[in-house]
Amino acid sequence: MALKDGGKNFLIKRRLFWMSVKALPKWFGFKQIYELKDKHLKADTLLRLMCKSAKEIRDPVNDKSWRDMIYEALLEAVENGNKEFFIEIIKYNPQLLWIFEAVSGRNLFQLAVVFRKEKIFNLIHGLDNRKVALLRSLDKDNNNILHIVAYLSPRPDHLSKISGSALKMQREIRWYMEVKSLVSEREVVQKNNEKMTPRQVFEVSHEPLRKEGEEWMKYTATACSFVAALIATVTFQAIFTVPGGYDETLGKPLLLRDLHFTAFIISDSLAFFTSCTSVLIFLSILTARYSFDDFIVSLPRKMIFGLAILFFSIASLLVGFITALSSTMRQKPTLVVPMKPLAALPVLLFLMLQYPLLKEMISSTYGKRLFHRDTKSWLELPGQDQHANVTSVYVGSSHSQHSVNSHRSQ
């Protein structure tokens, strides 16, 4: 029995040992790294095979076999913003630039606008004269690319990561302004089948989002102005009820020469003036026109300054409280010292709750540009003819041919 039990224990220990050895790569992250590397190699191999197949396609319209291999993959790359895949496929067969989605009749860059994939759309700057033809193309409803960007995207996930309806509205306007800067005045005033210009389409389709942004800004400004007004009231009253009281004979504060008292006066004054300033800023937000263009810079800038000044006001108020407490309780500093770290708690809480929003507003308004106009050519492979026959790419589709002819006749 003892030998049998010993054998079982040995087997159990050996099994546990090998299980631990197998789990080590997972614990240290080696397994995840290996799996990611393996996926990357497989994706790279698949991409090379697809590039080889794309290079052999001579007629993207009449050659039906290419659809199963390239068409869906290319459209999915645009929809998901896979810039690397898009570039490699198009490099090997620039004719694929001119394919369009069957239902809507939109080309690849128009689809990039629909799904708000700026990485794909930015590539249009690296094209030559083909860029003009792609931008002037019309879909089945006679929408040009400015009409298309004027509609809300059918996939709202591109706005789900943005905080606040006002910033969502700002992002949509930036897309519209970017596309508008690339088209001619003819496209700006052109009408679609619904007899609407791009600006009219934008205002109609984005009106619900504009109202949501207005309500969000007003709600935030109202809440913040209430806090700022409360701080202004408290600090105004505190300046006339100074710690330690007044000398009844001279009318001077008894702690006038105390450093803590001086710090209290300074911090209380700063809290009062900054809170009054933030109230005025938030009032200007409440009385704004809330036009579409106001969401680009004007309203976000006011909210940024209002929140930043309000934060400074709260910090000054807490500093004033601690200095007043230190001034009146200077005989018992042991009671004041534990209170000082607690004063930082509201400031830290304000940072935790409001800093992400403030950071996002600053980044969205003054940060890195969403669009990059890199005009460096990315299309041609080494040894490839850089002057492609642009007119040949339209003959494959009656819709595309009609689209180009309509532009040439205008």
**Reported pTM:** 0.75
CB atoms within 10 A of CB 144: 25
The lowest-confidence range among 20-34, 161-175, 194-208 is: 20-34
What is residue 346's predicted lDDT score, i.e. its pLDDT?
Answer: 84
Exposure string of 311-335, with b = 16+ CB inside 10 Å and e = fewer, is bbbbbbbbbbbbbbbbbbebeeeee
Residue 342: its pLDDT value, please?
A: 80
What is the full DSSP assignment across 138-187? --TT---HHHHHHSPPS-THHHHTS-SHHHHHHHHHHHHHHHHTTS-HHH
Identity (one letter) of the amino acid at 104?
S
Please return the burial class of 72, using the count of CB atoms within 10 Å of its CB with bins 0-12, 13-18 and 19+. Answer: exposed
Q: What is the pLDDT of residue 347?
A: 82
The pLDDT of residue 398 is above 70: no
Strand (E) or helix (H) holding 190 = none
Could you tell me which residues come within 8 angstroms of residue 260 by beta carbon, excluding any fewer than 6 positions away? 323, 324, 326, 327, 330
Predicted local distance difference test score (pLDDT) of residue 400: 41
Distance of CA 194 to the CA centre of its chain: 32
Q: 56 pLDDT band (50/70/90 cuts)? A: low
DSSP 40-80: HHHHHHHHHHHHHHHHT-S-TTT-THHIIIIIHHHHHHHHH
Quickly count: other Cβ atoms within 10 Å of residue 159's Cβ.
Answer: 17
Evaluate if residue 340 carries a pLDDT over 90. Answer: no
Residue scoring higher pLDDT (257 or 303): 303
Top-confidence residue, 4 or 296: 296
Which has the higher per-residue pLDDT, 149 or 242? 149
Percentages (nearest 5) of helix, strand, coil residues in the chain: 70, 0, 30
pLDDT in the model for residue 275: 96
At a CB cut-off of 8 Å and minimum separation 6, what does 109 contact?
Answer: 120, 121, 123, 124, 134, 135, 145
Looking at the predicted structure, is the pLDDT value of residue 14 above 50?
A: yes
Name the pLDDT band for 243 (thresholds 50, 70, 90). Answer: low
Output the pLDDT for position 391: 36
What's residue 210's pLDDT?
95
Highest mean pLDDT among 77-81, 121-125, 209-213: 209-213
Mean of pLDDT values over 249-262: 67
**Domain definitions of the chain by residue range:** 31-196+387-409, 209-366
Q: Which fold has domain 31-196+387-409?
A: 1.25.40
Which residue shows structure tokens 């800004």?
A: 217
Residue 404: Cβ within 10 Å count: 18
Q: What is the pLDDT of residue 408?
A: 37
How far, CA to CA in Å, does 333 sit from each of 131, 230, 323, 327? 73, 29, 12, 10
* Averaged pLDDT for residues 9-36: 58
Structure confidence at residue 262 (pLDDT) = 82
Q: Please give the DSSP secondary-structure letter assigned to residue 253.
A: B
User: Is residue 251 pLDDT above 80, yes or no?
Assistant: no
- In this model, does residue 231 exceed pLDDT 90? yes
Q: CA–CA separation, 278 vs 317, rounded Å?
A: 14
pLDDT confidence bin for 89, thresholds 50/70/90: confident
Instruction: Choose between 294 and 353: higher pLDDT.
Output: 294
